[in-house]
Amino acid sequence: MFRVAGSVTASRLSAVCCRTVTAKQFQVHGASLHVLSSETSRKSRNGPAHHRIPPSWQSVRTMASAGDSQAKINYIFYGLAVLFGGGGIIYWWSRKYMRETSKDGNKTKKSTAAVPAESKEATEPVSEKPTSETTKSEAPPAELPPTETPAEAAAPDAESKKLLDAMPQSYPDYEVMPDIPGHAKYLLIGGGTASFAAFRAIRASDAKAQVLVVTEEEELPYMRPPLSKELWYSDEPKLVEKLKFKQWNGKERSVYYNPPSFYVEPKELAYQENGGVAVVKGRKVMKLDPQKQVAVLDNGWEIFYDKVLIATGGRPRNIPVFERASQEVKDRVTLFRGIKDFKRLDEVSRNASTIVVVGGGFLGSELTCALGKRSRDSSLKVIQMFPEPGNMGKVLPEYLSQWTTAKVRGEGATVKPETFVKRARFSDGKVILKLNTGEEISTDHVVVAVGLEPNTELAKESGLEVDDTYGGFRVNAELEARSDIWVAGDASSFYDIKLGRRRVEHHDHAVVSGRLAGENMTGARKPYWHQSMFWSDLGPDVGYEAIGIVDSSLPTVAVFAKATEKDTPKAVVEETGESLRSVTETEAIKDPSDPASATGVEPSASEKTESATDEEPAPDVEAAAKLVAEVETENRVAPTPKEDYGKGVIFYLRDDIIVGIVLWNLFNRMPIARKIIKEGKQHQDLAEVAKLFDLHADED
């Protein structure tokens, strides 16, 4: 009677037609499905919702109720089509129709009984049965006795009645259902890395979890580091347009964590028996009611939740001179943060003659190097300015900061340390910047990269506490702000059980805190103890990784060694195949000959130091000669900029205890650094501690 329109083949159907079709197989997530008739399948398979033509389901249902054998076969084929059918064959019945044909409302049966047999046959023609649908052993359909009325003919036999009673009695219609569900067991506010890590952790603990993500951006969850790194070094513009990039090892990758097919539509989320993740894009949560456990969106829609994560991240910080500037100036200023900002700056850099980058931290220095590299093949001029004495001056010791500045200049950029903008005006199509030095610079575009302001707008309306010192939502060691409310990522001011209260604005922290929050949302109740790391690359040849409290105002001790070809960001990606080094650093390098590696338990840093001392009583003269132990002060004189800091380790001290470590062009050693900070011990000889990092392992 019906030809299955879709991907169901005759062989697949025949292979399973002998299976017992249970009531469970006739429903998908609590909703009835049906198959397009052959006359309408081609028309409506790909058409819009309002053009879809419903099939004649009543005829199949009525014949099945009447006990017709062929109708039962079609009914089974109907269930098989639900199981195996392709996109265009499946439609949801409207609530109105299903109410009329449900078990309780016998409207269909009554109207069927009221119509004479001849009229019924005329209004509901039955297609001729194909010979391929019958078997030799099948008995022909039983004919109705002459005295039997149509009402009696509609009475189902026991087998059909059992089948019909198993059908669900309430059916969702996607065409009338709201685009956003009204309830979510797990609600994640924000669509960044922290949310991504959280829903992975939730699904790992609760395999059938239904997770709803609400994000202001019009993007699915994506990673931010490539926006200031690899995407700028691609020689294939078409690849970049698709937001794909090649890692330093040449492997192609997308900035999106998962393809669109990974996610389900928000309106379908509640009907996913095996759970799933749905993303509501372009919406902002304005308020949480912790007592009622409800979130209110910017369009007034309310979502009730069981558990909620706030992972709103931060917004780029602006500087007052541009905040009070004219609209013409504001239109030519980019506060760099997300995909939209990358696309804009990418287009501007291909047409502008001058771009000014304001900010000398991680992001500002990375973008300057990236734009400087692009300027080599064009007439673009790149200027970077910041108030510190050198690049990343708030993080690196002054001598290393100045060395980094020389490196950035070598990438083709003009760097102006101890410089800031006093005024900005618009003239003749250009932005004119008045500097503190008295100089005026004319530029086509300005990029501001001076840090983040945590997004805490929810706090006031939701009764949540904000940290006055560090910013962000104040949470406990388990990242919980209030009952059933967690915060992760840039927006969380958390209690580190080792280093005290902190707020961290780095990718790896978003991963670690998001994962921990997701685990705790499923009942783990774990404290934050894992020390997250962060990294920065100044192109494929120079990079560093850091952990703990890394502040240039702290005393530092450093040990350096000669670098080799293996000591570059490009080399580590070629070796590991992973550009996100927060991933490559999660596993320690294990030595098969080391008994600790076999047990999975690594000795403490102090045990390693004592062991090294016992085996080698004499100090390493070469390492001691390279030891740099200096306390940073405002008037400190830096070493000569010509000195080459190939690779090394820098210890940051507080009360003679190591609280932070920078690994300069030294990779895959982060687990060692993490253990040293976790111990929180004083070390008499930091040169011996530096031996743990195998600085001279690759030297000839």
Domain residues for the domain of 465 are 183-221+257-313+455-522
Please give the average per-residue pLDDT across 189-198, as a whole number.
97
> Which of 106-120, 189-203, 311-325, 433-447 comes out lowest in average pLDDT?
106-120
Q: Does one domain contain both 409 and 468? A: no
Last residue of a domain, one of 418, 434, 451: 451
Both 404 and 423 in one domain: the answer is yes
pLDDT band (50, 70, 90) for residue 148: very low
- In this prediction, residue 672 has a pLDDT band, given cuts at 50, 70 and 90, of very high
Range with lowest mean pLDDT among 3-12, 58-67, 75-84, 591-600: 591-600
Same-domain pairing of 538 and 677 = yes
**Which CATH number covers residue 551?**
3.30.390.30
Question: What distances in angstroms separate CA 197 from CA 155, 225, 505, 515, 596, one per listed residue?
Answer: 55, 15, 15, 5, 30
- pLDDT score of 339: 97
pLDDT of 588 strictly over 90: no
CA distances from 454 to 172, 447, 569 (A): 40, 20, 30
pLDDT for 176 equals: 72
More confident: 634 or 290: 290
Instruction: Assess if residue 595 is contained within a domain.
Output: no
**pLDDT over 80 (residue 307):** yes
pLDDT at 697: 67
Task: Identify which has the larger pLDDT, 599 or 105.
Answer: 105
Whether residues 279 and 399 fall in one domain: no
| CATH code for the domain of 209 | 3.50.50.60
Question: Which pLDDT score, from 0 to 100, does residue 78 have?
Answer: 52
E-strand spans in 563-688? 627-630, 647-654, 657-664
Is the pLDDT at 499 greater than 90, yes or no? no
Once rounded to an integer, what is the mean pLDDT over residues 672-684? 90
What's the pLDDT band for 208 if we cut at 50, 70, 90? Answer: very high
Same domain, 324 and 217: no
Please tell me the distance from the alpha carbon of residue 338 to that of residue 129, in angstroms, as a whole number.
59
Q: For the CA atoms of 614, 616, 621, 625, what is the dihedral angle to 10 degrees?
A: -40
Domain shared by 286 and 324, yes or no: no
Band (570; pLDDT cuts 50, 70, 90): low
| Nearest-angstrom CA–CA distance, 471 and 487 | 13
In this predicted structure, which of 64-78, 254-268, 417-431, 685-699 has the lowest mean pLDDT? 64-78
Residue 308 · residue 288 · CB < 8 Å: yes
Select from 526, 535, 463 the least CA-distant residue to 494: 526
Q: Quick check: is 664 in a domain? A: yes
> Alpha-carbon distance 481 to 462, whole Å?
11
Is the CB of residue 234 less than 8 Å from the CB of residue 253?
Answer: no
Does the pLDDT at position 189 exceed 70? yes
Distance in angstroms (rounded) separating the CA atoms of residues 316 and 162: 62
| Residue 544: strand, helix, or coil | strand
Q: Distances from the Cα of 82 to the Cαs of 6, 21, 36, 164, in angstroms?
A: 11, 11, 11, 16
- pLDDT, greater one: 144 or 416: 416
Among 493, 522, 551, residue at a domain's last position:
522
Residue 319 has pLDDT above 80, yes or no: yes
Beta-carbon count within 10 A of 233 CB? 19
pLDDT in tens, 441-462: 999 999 999 999 999 999 989 9
Q: In sequence order, what are the residues at sequence separation of 6 or more whose Cβ sits closer than 8 angstroms to the Cβ of residue 662?
A: 395, 396, 544, 545, 546, 550, 649, 650, 652
Q: Is the predicted pLDDT of residue 678 greater than 50, yes or no?
A: yes
DSSP 136-203: TTPPPPPPPPTT--HHHHT---HHHHHHHHTS-S----TTTS-SS-SEEEEEEE--SHHHHHHHHHHH
β-bridge partners, 681: none
Confidence band of 237 (pLDDT split at 50, 70, 90): confident
Is residue 25 in some structural domain?
Answer: no
Q: 156 falls in which pLDDT band (50, 70, 90)?
A: low
In a domain, 360, yes or no: yes
DSSP 498: T
Q: Is the pLDDT of residue 174 over 80?
A: no
- Is 545 inside a domain boundary? yes
- List the Cα angle 57/60/63 in 5-degree steps: 145
Q: Phi and psi at residue 187, in whole multiples of 5°?
A: -110, 125
How many C-beta atoms surround the C-beta of residue 687 within 10 A? 17
| pLDDT at residue 667, rounded to an integer | 85
Asked whether residue 445 falls in the same domain as residue 408, the answer is: yes
The answer to whether residue 647 sits within a structural domain is yes
| DSSP H helix total and E strand total for the chain | 25, 31
pLDDT at 488: 97
Does 537 share its domain with 514? Answer: no
Compare 205 and 173 and report the one with higher pLDDT: 205
Task: Give 243 or 593, the one with higher predicted confidence.
Answer: 243
The predicted pLDDT at position 698 comes to 62
Confidence of residue 258 (pLDDT cuts 50, 70, 90): very high
Average pLDDT over residues 552-564: 90
- Asked which of 471, 493, 522 is the last residue of a domain, the reply is 522
688 located within any domain:
yes
Residue 308 has pLDDT above 80, yes or no: yes
Same domain, 303 and 344: no
Q: Would you say residue 630 has pLDDT above 50? A: no
User: Which of 17-31, 434-448, 469-483 shows the lowest per-residue confidence on average (mean pLDDT)?
Assistant: 17-31
Q: How many CB atoms lie within 10 A of CB 598?
A: 11
Choose from 2-6, 143-147, 399-403, 539-543 the range with maximum mean pLDDT.
399-403
Q: Is the pLDDT of residue 133 over 70?
A: no
H-assigned helices in 470-625: 507-521, 569-576, 581-584, 595-599, 605-615, 621-625
Residue 320 has pLDDT above 70, yes or no: yes
Model confidence at 160, pLDDT cuts 50, 70, 90, reads: low
User: Is the same domain home to 562 and 584?
Assistant: yes
* Rounded CA separation 434/439 (Å): 6
pLDDT at 466: 97
Among left, alpha and beta (phi > 0; psi -120 to 50; other), residue 76 is: alpha
If asked whether residues 402 and 499 sit together in one domain, one would say no
On the question of pLDDT at 63 being above 70, the answer is no
Q: Are 554 and 662 in contact (CB under 8 A)?
A: no
Q: Is residue 327 exposed (0-12), middle (13-18) or buried (19+ Cβ within 10 Å)?
A: exposed
* 408 touches 384 (CB < 8 A): yes
Enter the tokens of residue 240.
Answer: 């970049």
Is the pLDDT at 578 greater than 80? The verdict is no
Of residues 480, 512, 505, the one with CA closest to residue 494? 480
Name the phi and psi angles at 426, rounded to 5.
-110, 135
Residues shown for the chain: 700
pLDDT at 76: 58
Cβ pair 360, 390 in contact under 8 A: yes
User: Is residue 142 situated within a structural domain?
Assistant: no
Query: For the purposes of burial, counting CB atoms within 10 Å of the CB of 555, is it exposed (0-12), middle (13-18) or buried (19 or more)?
Result: middle
Q: What is the mean pLDDT of residues 139-153?
A: 46
Q: Give pLDDT, residue 654.
A: 93
Mean pLDDT of the 16-30 span: 35
At 29 the three-state DSSP class reads coil
Whether 94 has a pLDDT exceeding 90, the answer reads: no
Per-residue confidence (pLDDT) for residue 311, from 0 to 100: 98
330-370 confidence digits (pLDDT tens) = 999 999 999 999 999 999 999 999 999 999 999 999 999 99
pLDDT, residue 165, reads 53
Task: Please report which confidence band the pLDDT of residue 438 belongs to, taking 50, 70 and 90 as the band edges.
Answer: very high
Contact assessment for residue 612 and residue 367, using Cβ atoms and an 8 Å cutoff? no
Q: pLDDT grade, residue 536 (50/70/90)?
A: confident
- Does the structure show a pLDDT above 80 at 590? no
Confidence of residue 75 (pLDDT cuts 50, 70, 90): low
Q: How far apart are CA 653 and CA 658, in angstroms?
A: 5
In this predicted structure, the answer to whether residue 127 has a pLDDT above a threshold of 90 is: no
CA distance 221 to 304: 22
Instruction: Find tokens 């900070």 and name the residue.
Output: 677
Average pLDDT over residues 406-412: 91
Backbone torsions φ then ψ of 133, nearest 5 degrees = -90, -5
Instruction: Please give the mean pLDDT across all residues of the chain.
Output: 75
Q: What total of structural domains would you count in the chain?
A: 3
- Summarize the confidence of residues 388-417 as an average pLDDT: 93
Give residue for tokens 């501001």.
448
Rounded mean pLDDT, 141-152: 46
Residue 80's pLDDT is what?
52
Query: Do residue 446 and residue 489 come from a single domain?
Result: no
C-alpha 380/C-alpha 241 separation (Å) is 21
